[in-house]
Amino acid sequence: MFVLFMKKLATDTSAEEISRIKSILVQKKIKYEITTIRGRTGSDRDAHTNLRSNPVAYNMVRDPMFIYSVYVKHKDFALARQLVFR
C-alpha cells in the first residue's frame, strides 16, 4: 500500500524499537509499511568547516544514522497506537 494513504504511527532511529513495533503489528494482523531515510549530521559544507576548525571533534562524529517510519491504515491507527505505546 502507498504510504500517502496511511498514517504515521512511529518514527525512530533504533532498529530494535522498529522491530518491536513490527512484531506487535504482525501479531495483531495489522498491515503496515516501513520507510527508511538515511539521516545526516550536517551538510558537506558544515563538515568541511568543522574539519578545519576542530579536527579532533570532527573525528568523533558518528556515521549517518537511519530514520525509520512506520505507517498503518487510518482505520487501524487507534488500535495500533494503543498496542504499541502502552
Identify the CATH number of the domain in which residue 64 sits.
Answer: 3.30.70.1370
C-alpha cell at 70: 512506520
Cβ neighbours of residue 49 closer than 8 Å, sequence gap 6 or more: none
pLDDT averaged over consecutive 10-residue blocks of the chain (86 residues)? 85 94 97 88 54 55 78 96 94
Closest alpha carbon to 84 in 5, 35, 34, 19:
19
pLDDT at 44: 54
The domain total for the chain is 1
Q: Phi-psi category of 42—alpha, beta or left, where left has phi over 0 and alpha has psi -120 to 50?
A: left
Residue 61 structural domain: 3-84
pLDDT at 3: 75
